[in-house]
Structure 1
């Protein structure tokens, strides 16, 4: 699809950040959107991404966008704010848009929406706030651009077309007979540990496994094992995951995003 054909009026903006909830950053962005696109509905995905954790933000966004209505997906996890990193907007194959920094945050979500149709480096300052802070591009660049795209403005008018987006390194996954090593992608609020591997990488594994040397049981859900048991299961996003029935798998195994887990059978 040619980028100059991508013009659509949407009604929803999804919003994902690492801004937290104790300051006014989220409200300032909401207010900017409300002034420019007062009819837009905003769905807050999360504002509790660990500060500066682009990989975690990308994973949460990519796993959430398929459940959302056709939207402009505004995402800001931006440790490079104010530097040479580019502000960008992407047109996804589903007809929606993604707006945020060019640091790898948006690309997995675009792929989850069918792929990238076009991308632009946001250079049209008429689309920005009158004054742009060097440290708050969420309010002064990304929120105004998202509001304009939601209101039907044409993507090519936002800036210059680009085809060299930053992509995050692929997470580590290594398979051998009777052994799977996979990087931890995310740890959720319950302490469940999501791995980069998918269930098809353990197609013939027995019910009883070990995870980093700890006995575990392969199950369909938490309650299929006794209370306190460590389980290996397919989570709702289609990844292999670890949980403790009634407990915290990340704490039990001392795991954090980026760590590697070895599953043996």
Structure 2
């Protein structure tokens, strides 16, 4: 397996401290020619689900190579540190579900990081991103065979987050809140294909049921499809239905937590 000499980084480390720079430095010292791409370091602290969603939705647009993801509230505990080969990509990080949505359904090989010769010494109990994941990723990007990182185990034993729910039946699309971005747009697991199956087309309205609330919102192509301050629905850049407020924040207005159930249907003319 030949990898592109590129390492990507996704963490919840923030930008106020030197954590990200330390990871960059470790990779560059081991493999100076490796290109480093920062996905984000602003995942909310410890929010594995948010990190998993960002990783899965971003990876298709990244160079093939080594993808390091570290949102690791269990750092230093018995949770496994892993490298997972998936075609021309390798994912490196904690085995806590963070990697799961980015992995294909089959064809992966999983390895526990047990070869301590690849780590920095002394190994910090609380900074595996710097001392374990970054050096392993650098060696892999530089050409190390993945079998050298440690012990292979059955990829079916990887910790997996539940897949986001979605179902289409009788003219309705059921799903859940996937995530909210920094603009306050609320991304749902309902896809553009689901909308097509229930007959939704842009320029009409959708009836959106959120718990005990039922809203009628315009379904448009851009944020300007609704007047400023008004709620609207659109298909976002990764093909998911999302709720937004033109020049506002839908997440704050709706108060929907990740995983909240949502039901969508086409608004009948009598409901306008």
TM-score in same-fold range (> 0.5): yes
Please tell me whether residue 253 in structure 1 is matched to residue 254 in structure 2: yes
Give the conservation status (yes or no) of the 8 Å contact 1:90–1:116. Answer: no
Pairwise CA RMSD of aligned residues? 1.7
Native 8 Å contact 1:231 1:243 kept in 2: yes
> For residue 105 of structure 1, what is the aligned residue in structure 2?
98
Alpha-carbon distance between aligned partners in 2 of 1:70 and 1:129, rounded to the nearest angstrom: 25
Q: Say which of 114, 128, 136 aligns to 1:123.
A: 114
Q: Hey, what does 2:38 align to over in structure 1?
A: 44
Q: Counterparts of 1:49-128 in structure 2 under 5 Å? A: 49-93=43-87, 95-111=88-104, 116-128=107-119
With normalisation by structure 2, the TM-score equals 0.88
Alignment deviations for residues 69-93 of structure 1 (CA, whole Å, 9 cap, x no partner): 1221011011111111110001112
Shift of 1:214: 2.2
Range with bigger deviation, 252-261 or 241-250: 252-261
**1:12 corresponding residue in structure 2:** 6
In structure 2, runs of 5+ residues without a counterpart are 267-272
Match of 1:173 in 2: 166
TM-score, normalised with respect to structure 1 = 0.90
CA distance in 1, matches of 2:13, 2:222: 33
Q: Write the deviation string for residues 13-68 of structure 1: whole angstroms up to 9, x where unpaired.
A: 11000111111111111111111111111111100101111111011011111111
Give me the whole-angstrom Cα distance separating, in 1, the residues matched to 2:189 and 2:107. Answer: 22
> Contact conserved, 1:231 with 1:244, CA < 8 A, in 2?
yes
CA–CA separation in structure 1 for the residues paired with 2:185 and 2:18: 30
Partners of 2:108 and 2:256 lie apart in 1 by 37
Give a deviation string over 1:170-189, Cα, whole Å, max 9, x none: 22334443443321111011
Match in the other structure for 2:139: 148
Partner-residue secondary structure (3-state), 1:196: strand
Is residue 195 of structure 1 aligned with residue 195 of structure 2? no
Task: Answer yes or no: is 1:205 the counterpart of 2:200.
Answer: yes
CA contact 2:3–2:89 (8 Å) conserved in 1 = no
Alignment check: 8 A CA contact 2:101 2:163 kept = no
Q: Is the 8 A contact 1:110 1:116 kept in 2?
A: no
Report the Cα distance in structure 2 between the residues aligned to 1:40 and 1:53, rounded to whole angstroms: 28
Higher relative contact order (CA 8 A, sep 6+): 1
**Change in CA separation of 1:116 and 1:18 when aligned onto 2, cut-off 3 Å:** farther
Contact 2:187 2:242 in 1 (8 A): yes
> Contact 2:12–2:43 at 8 Å: present in 1 too?
yes
Higher mean Cα deviation, 182-191 or 141-150?
Answer: 182-191
